[in-house]
Amino acid sequence: MRILLIGREGQLAWELRRTLACLGEVIAIDRGSRPWSIDLSDPDSIRTAVRGLRPKLIVNAAAYTGVDIAEKEEALAAMINGVAPGILAEIAVELNAGLIHYSTDYVFSGEASEPYEEENETAPLGVYGRTKRQGEVAIEQVGIPHL
């Protein structure tokens, strides 16, 4: 099985490269990788890379993770964290591929006394959490089964 791992140089992707290897061919890409690259701030780049590689599973481990900087670069954070996951979901449907997308606990308020569960109500306090929540919603709206 061909697995596309987005976010090649991140901490999460670094570990996932080893973990996913037993499932098939793992192609890890990011903005600077070659011969294939992907720029999550550019919808055309997303479509070109994913359609060109034709994976059976898309794993999005990339994000705009600068929590404090996101407050000043909201449009960029919104594109990478909020819009790009929806585009990935649309292409996954087109390719009949699975989608695994990593989010964050920043989609919650941080005020709970118990650990959060997926079913808990979201209440992000900052741009980073809001944009990550936008990405979750974008995937849900496409209607693809996802993790």
Instruction: Give mean pLDDT, residues 120-126.
Output: 92
Residues 25-75 pLDDT 10s: 999 999 999 999 999 999 999 999 999 999 999 999 999 999 999 999 999
Q: Provide the residue ranges of all domains of the chain, joining segments of one domain with +.
A: 2-142
CATH superfamily of 2-142: NAD(P)-binding Rossmann-like Domain (3.40.50.720)
CB 17 within 8 A of CB 28: yes
Of the residues 64, 102, 106, 128, only one is catalytic, namely 128
For the beta carbon of residue 75, count every other beta carbon within 10 angstroms.
11
Question: Does residue 64 have an active-site annotation?
Answer: no
Answer whether 0.85 is exceeded by the pTM.
yes
